[in-house]
Structure 1
Amino acid sequence: MLFLYNIGLWLYALLLRLLAPWVPKAAQWTAGRRGLLAHIRQTLLAETAPRVWFHCASLGEFEQGRPLLEAYRQQYPGHKLVLTFFSPSGYEICQGWPGADYIFYLPLDTAAHARAFLDAVQPRLVVFVKYEFWYHFLTELHRRRVPTICVSAIFRPGQAFFKPWGGLFRRMLGSFTHIFTQNEASTELLRRIGITRVSTAGDTRFDTVVATAAAPPKTLPVLTAFVADGAPVLVVGSSWPADIAVLTPALRTLAPTALRVLVAPHELHEAGLQQVEAVLPGRVLRYSRATADTAPAARILLIDSIGLLRELYRYGTLGYVGGAFGKGLHNTLEAAVFGLPLLFGPNFQKFEEAKDLVQRGGADAVKDAEELETALKFLVYNPAQRLPIVARNREYVRAQAGATSTIMRWLGKESSL
């Protein structure tokens, strides 16, 4: 199995190199690892402070790890934080984040790379966030007896860890000093296969969004002017073309008179921006071109800037979260913490918080444009029905917070830091 694992990674890297001339993300992944180990060695050569390594697959995992990174920084200010990413979508957005001292791509998982990386970083503690189980890195960390934990992990019976042929993957789990899961079901699955250094802490993203909601709002004059008339505001977060296609009939019906809409695409491609602009020709305004004077005349404000989504939900009455008409749902908690009644597509079953919100009546999963239009009209035209949903969603998010403090308590008691 290890032979197949190594060959699979080699083929994956080769494929990305072949695709690089035509696929921007493949080009970023490849270019980011060119001379990477030498760069890491040179960057850290003169660093003498204790180092802690946090690894996130991509941007979503970074958002889960962020509250722990921030808490660790506050509790251990003398330590240097090394943050790595596997995916360009995480690294490219977060490479300037001031909360970490060093931010790198993760080298491809080979035995030689793992040894060279750990020789350069020399971490006192390692934190893997949610996913990303790399055999050679974990094996080498275990051999060196470096405390290594996994946080916000979630497991399902169909994963390789729980298959008869999954011995290699079970060995990866056994390399961790401790695993903190999101729920009891994940904890029980691990215990059934003999992984006992495990406990349920919850999802650190709840801590992130609660802190965001409690922070003073940013001054955004364009948004303030856009919502000033008091009309209901639908925030469409992390939308893909499939989401816009499903939303289009409802927006053409409701946006001209009954609803204002803030649309934040997941990726800012020109073709996708133009797709939104085609929904209501002449009534869609790009955020980058808007002023406080011109924004009120538009009915759809198209957010063509990165980093605003969290703040957008403050201005919302309702939320639509994208991704669930494709590979999977994006972050619902950023909207739920503000109490927004939520809508999203049918592909949400792998997301515990989305299932919880649906079960509690705080969200509705729709299967097509017709269901979406019906659900949206009900919420727009029945404001009294929204009030209990608002309270329900806010309470749900706040009740789930606390994973970060649980993990930090463990670090204080169990680690040698």
Structure 2
Amino acid sequence: MLRFVYSLLWLLILPLALLRLVWRSRKESGYIQHVGERLGRYGDLSAAGPWLWVHAVSVGETRAAQPLIDALLAAYPRHRLLLTHMTPTGRQTGAQLYGANPRVQQCYLPYDLPWLVRRFLAYFQPDAGLIMETEVWPNLVHVTRRMGVPLFLVNARLSPRSYRRTARFGGAAAALYNDFTMVLAQTAGDAERYRALGVKSVQVTGNLKFDMQPPEAGVARGQLLRQAFGNRHVLAAASTREGEEPLILEAFSRWPGTDRPALLLVPRHPQRFDEVAAMATRAGFSVQRRSALDIEQLSAPITADVVLGDSMGEMAMYYAASDIAYIGGSLIPLGGQNLIEACAVGTPVLMGPHTFNFAQATEDAIAAGACQRVADADELMVAAAAILGDATRLADMREHALTFAGLHRGATARTLGALAPVLR
């Protein structure tokens, strides 16, 4: 009955969902491309399989899926891989990673109505589906089970906050998650919360993000970019969210010291690049945009107060160019973003108080000496100034960051091991 009501609501809001695509396309044109795919129409795509299907809703999930996708392509050479998304930025990231690989095909997942999901599954007939992290759609999960397609929730995480919200649905939540063949959790805490919901098949495999290897070309470009700042330190504010940039810019204007670093400001969403650039200019800072820089041919040092990271797929470069990095989404209650990418290139991390999306990784990084938590934007600048002003401490945190990232690798192999009995 709950699923019926849910489907009825989806049917009623479907016209609004389509109008929302048009509205969002004003800032990001990708939202009105491939609209037919969102309605289960895939006639212009090849259906020739056999397929393994991986769903990665947006940018973060797509990047996290990369080591697993590479391993699946190697382990199952007769299969092709269908990579689905919900956002244009996720699709763009997938194209950057796999656009040249003929064994990988991308499309949008349809809206969560039963007949649209059936149309999607009937067209591609995947041998198995892997849903990344938290993207649990009731009709998608139920119909996939009814059609006999093994479905795994991979790199799964369930914060205490999400657990309390989900537990309100009681047996319905347990039934939903038990339609998965298996839930492969990031941490023992995540697994414990899934089991508390009543989920029967749960296994801890670790966090795939630790297995992400920073691209060598991106790290090399980052080193070139770092050289262009000369003797100035570089503080990155990466994957910042709406509402954070004003706090960061205001606190940066009151830098607690004489040698203020360059601020490498990288908003998470590309549709906000122009907005954030204008915000920094209004705050009185000189601004240089990455899109106007030829990294390989820099002819003059970068003297701007703020460098805006207005590009996609270059986080490794931004982190490699930085002496220390604040990870966005954590100064305001959005749960934080992935700190592992920064640690993987040896960049120490600062996190705000709100890290429930990466709670275990954050606590482990703090315990390892790779990360420091701050209460607000002013404390962020004070902590950054103290670390940048202490060469020994900065070097120690760099070493701890690399060690932390290396110690937690292995989730890809454990995930493949859990999938093997079904995929074989």
List gaps (5 residues or longer) in structure 1.
none
Letter matched to residue 191 of structure 2: T
- Following TM superposition, by how much is the alpha carbon of 1:311 offset from its aligned partner in structure 2, in angstroms? 1.6
1: CA distance, partners of 2:35 / 2:228: 43
- Equivalent residues in 2 for 1:369-380 (5 A)? 369-380=377-388
| From 261, 264, 269, the counterpart of 1:262 | 264
Among all aligned residue pairs of Structure 1 and Structure 2, give the percentage whose two residues are the same amino acid.
23
Task: Answer whether contact 1:160 1:169 (CA < 8 A) is retained.
Answer: no
**Which piece of structure 1 moves more, 402-411 or 161-170?**
161-170
Cα-to-partner distance string for 1:258-286 (whole Å, 9 max, x where unaligned): 423322222343121122234454x4322
2: CA distance, partners of 1:128 / 1:333: 21
2: CA distance, partners of 1:214 / 1:311: 9
2: CA distance, partners of 1:308 / 1:162: 35
| From 122, 132, 144, the counterpart of 1:119 | 122
- Equivalent residues in 2 for 1:112-191 (5 A)? 112-157=115-160, 158-159=162-163, 163=167, 165-191=169-195
Distance 1:277 1:290, change over 3 A: farther
1: CA distance, partners of 2:151 / 2:381: 48
**Which piece of structure 1 moves more, 85-94 or 167-176?**
85-94
2:56 matched to which residue of 1?
A: 56
1:302 matched to which residue of 2?
A: 308
Letter matched to residue 292 of structure 2: R
Normalised to the residue count of structure 1, the TM-score between the two structures is: 0.87
2:342 matched to which residue of 1?
A: 335
Letter matched to residue 392 of structure 1: H
**Which piece of structure 1 moves more, 287-296 or 176-185?**
287-296
Task: Answer whether contact 1:204 1:403 (CA < 8 A) is retained.
Answer: yes
Distance 1:164 1:266, change over 3 A: closer
Task: Answer whether contact 1:161 1:169 (CA < 8 A) is retained.
Answer: no
2: CA distance, partners of 1:261 / 1:315: 11
Letter matched to residue 78 of structure 2: G
Number of positions where the alignment pairs a residue of Structure 1 with one of Structure 2: 410
Letter matched to residue 365 of structure 2: L
Task: Answer whether contact 2:345 2:402 (CA < 8 A) is retained.
Answer: yes
- Following TM superposition, by how much is the alpha carbon of 1:43 offset from its aligned partner in structure 2, in angstroms? 1.8
2: CA distance, partners of 1:267 / 1:26: 10
2: CA distance, partners of 1:406 / 1:329: 26
Normalised to the residue count of structure 2, the TM-score between the two structures is: 0.86
1:44 matched to which residue of 2?
A: 46
Distance 1:164 1:256, change over 3 A: closer
1: CA distance, partners of 2:136 / 2:241: 28
2:206 matched to which residue of 1?
A: 202
**Which piece of structure 1 moves more, 139-148 or 49-58?**
139-148
Task: Answer whether contact 2:288 2:304 (CA < 8 A) is retained.
Answer: yes
Instruction: Work out whether 1:357 is the aligned partner of 2:365.
Output: yes
Letter matched to residue 375 of structure 1: A
- Following TM superposition, by how much is the alpha carbon of 1:398 offset from its aligned partner in structure 2, in angstroms? 1.1
2:390 matched to which residue of 1?
A: 382
Letter matched to residue 311 of structure 2: S
- Equivalent residues in 2 for 1:238-317 (5 A)? 238-240=239-241, 242-252=243-253, 254=255, 257-268=259-270, 269-281=273-285, 283-290=286-293, 292-317=298-323
List gaps (5 residues or longer) in structure 2.
none
Letter matched to residue 51 of structure 2: R
2: CA distance, partners of 1:411 / 1:390: 35
- Following TM superposition, by how much is the alpha carbon of 1:222 offset from its aligned partner in structure 2, in angstroms? 5.8
- Following TM superposition, by how much is the alpha carbon of 1:126 offset from its aligned partner in structure 2, in angstroms? 0.9
Task: Answer whether contact 2:170 2:197 (CA < 8 A) is retained.
Answer: no
Task: Answer whether contact 1:286 1:302 (CA < 8 A) is retained.
Answer: yes
Letter matched to residue 301 of structure 1: V
- Following TM superposition, by how much is the alpha carbon of 1:190 offset from its aligned partner in structure 2, in angstroms? 2.8
Q: CA RMSD in A?
A: 2.9
Task: Answer whether contact 2:222 2:319 (CA < 8 A) is retained.
Answer: no
